Chain A
Amino acid sequence: MPLPLYYFLSITAVNILLSWALYLPYRVAHLHFITVANMAISGYTAAWLVMTLNVPFAWALLAGFAMGGIVGWLVSLFIGDAPTFAVVIVGFTFIFIARTVIENLKAVGGTMGIFGLPNIGGSPDTHRWTIMAILAGLLLLVGFLLHRFDHSRLGRAASAVFVDKELAASLGVDIRGLGMLLQTVSCTIAGGAGVLYGFIYKSFHLDFFTFALVGIAMTIIFVGGYATQWGTVVLAPILYGVPLLFPPSIQEWRIVIYGALLVLVLVLKPEGFITRRFVFSIESFLSGSRKKRNIS
């Protein structure tokens, strides 16, 4: 597989996973930026396991998922039903703390990071195909679970919480439990995405996990459409891919363009490009044509 294509596909896949990890708790109006900190924590942990203890990659990846989930669950015990702004600031604070701790830990390379991670499966080509296969599998699995969630009672409960917390509580929705569940699952996804993110480049550096990453994920969600999972899928490749077509002098203004796009969409089209109504109309069109086919 050509390197540019590999990087485009794999980074796009990681961006989708990260955006889904943010999308999930946002269903109950929680902007859970701790996911970015979790990517770093899980990624560094997995890299340390592989490099220092010679743990096989598969186990390190599982440890990354577990680490993300545990951190997410522990934090969710406190902020499972907290207001949005408190969740935001906990996320940002966590990013700061995680960055400071990692840059001071010699075991994970400090400010230099971890370099020279081994190829999975021996050769560079096998490494790339393995990473791509894992990412594709994860996208399908997480995408399917999100789809099921959105069409379940839990998904409807989350929508109720998003619109009116008090009303949802009076209807019997366990707001704290739902918030904890979504935050924990979100952090678990982010943990795995973090491990894969580093193994794509075969190195880990703190510059991978900056506030710019938060900005990118936020732009993907809000411009694509925060009310469904599909906006993320459509916008992640466009946002990451289109700037690559421009000369470097324009590419370096990427974040300004993302920011401007975010502001414009919030002002002109608050629900983003792929709205829930749009998804419903496509779903009903598809089910209609399926029914017609069954009848004929």
Chain B
Amino acid sequence: MQVFIAQVINGLSLGSIYVLLVTGFNLLLLVAMIIHFSYPQVVVFSMYIAWVVLRLTGNNLLLGILAGVGSSIALNLVSAPLFQKVMSKRGEVDINSTMVLSMGIGMIITDVLSHSFNQGLPVAFPDSLSSNVPLLRVGLISVVSGQVWSLAVGIVAVACFFLLLYRTRAGRAFRAIAEDPNGARLVGIPILRTGLYSYALSGVLGGIIAVLLAMLLGSAYPGLGEQVAHKVLAVSIIAGLGNLAGGLVVGLLLGVLEAIVQGYVSGSWSNAIAFVIMLVVILVKPKGLFGTKL
């Protein structure tokens, strides 16, 4: 039972990161109308930038975090014109080609990380960031500060995001475009500018996720983005593409499921079991459990 509770706590902190990732992914899908498959690769790239800045500044946490968030926003904004160009060339929104474009960007990021940083070896974050100091220990249950931080920041970030989406003018513009882009244009919402805001906002979320992942995992490796990308797209599909509330539920569930499986099954099989369960759900309900919002 203790193992189970420990793994549920682990899973909730991991799940909160999945929720943030899916939220950023869905925001781009709904407002900018792109499938940014390599969004998690952007996050991992930001982790690496934070790692470089931490090394250069003698582990100055504030600068490291700012660099992570800044690089995520910059990378998202730089890729925005590429996505816009692809969509304008197609005449109408073609999310499939944006997904392929995003995969190309992901290929570049992953390979640059495996050649240019730390000779392709995993990078370790300093203890001051990835603090694994146990805050609570009861038998086998141990709650470390990294888990608490990621869970707490994850909840606050998602709450702020939903507040922005449902209680502000900008949020209304986001939702209007998601609901009906042509109608939104007719009532005077600047589609391009609002789309750019969504890139910037998902960049902010990406930076926060990068910091949280660094705190939770304590390290990063070039293939991390690829692995997370598949899970994020899977969570998004299982929840129903663009369904923010569904993403919240399924993201947390996947985190908990993964952690529980890891608690009882040996390392290499545990990932496969999580993937098999995801596969079964996608095969049975390819349009998602909660319905798509596209």
Q: Which residues of A contact B (CB under 8 A)?
A: 29, 31, 75, 78-79, 82-86, 88-90, 92-94, 96-97, 100-101, 103-104, 211, 215, 218-219, 222, 252-253, 255-256, 258-260, 262-263, 266-267, 270
Q: Is the CB of B104 within 8 A of A262?
A: yes
Residues of chain B within 8 A (CB-CB) of A215 are 103, 107
Q: Is the CB of A94 within 8 A of B279?
A: yes
A-B pairs with beta carbons under 8 A, tally: 117
Most buried by B among A31, A219, A259: A259
Contacts A85-B241, A86-B237, A256-B108 known; 9 new A-B pairs at CB < 8 A: A83-B287, A89-B282, A93-B234, A103-B268, A215-B103, A258-B107, A262-B101, A263-B101, A270-B89
Contact of B286 among A29, A79, A262 (CB under 8 A): A79
Q: Please, which residue of chain A has its CB at the minimum distance from the CB of B101?
A: A266
Residues of chain A within 8 A (CB-CB) of B97 are 266, 270
Interface presence of B271 (CB below 8 A) = yes
In the assembled complex, the CB of A68 is this many whole angstroms from the nearest CB of chain B, namely 18
Q: Is the CB of B271 within 8 A of A100?
A: yes
**20 chain-A/chain-B pairs, Cβ below 8 angstroms:** A85-B35, A85-B99, A85-B233, A89-B237, A93-B230, A97-B275, A97-B276, A100-B272, A215-B103, A253-B115, A255-B107, A255-B111, A256-B107, A256-B111, A259-B106, A259-B107, A259-B108, A262-B107, A263-B105, A266-B100
Interface residues of B in 71-108 (CB under 8 A from A): 82, 85-86, 89-90, 95-97, 99-101, 103-108
Interface of A, secondary structure class, is: helix
Interface presence of B52 (CB below 8 A) = no
Interface of B, secondary structure class, is: helix
Interface presence of B278 (CB below 8 A) = yes
Residues of chain A within 8 A (CB-CB) of B103 are 215, 218, 262
In the assembled complex, the CB of B175 is this many whole angstroms from the nearest CB of chain A, namely 22
Residues of chain B within 8 A (CB-CB) of A75 are 283
Q: Is the CB of A92 within 8 A of B272?
A: no
In the assembled complex, the CB of A44 is this many whole angstroms from the nearest CB of chain B, namely 16
Most buried by B among A85, A252, A253, A256: A85
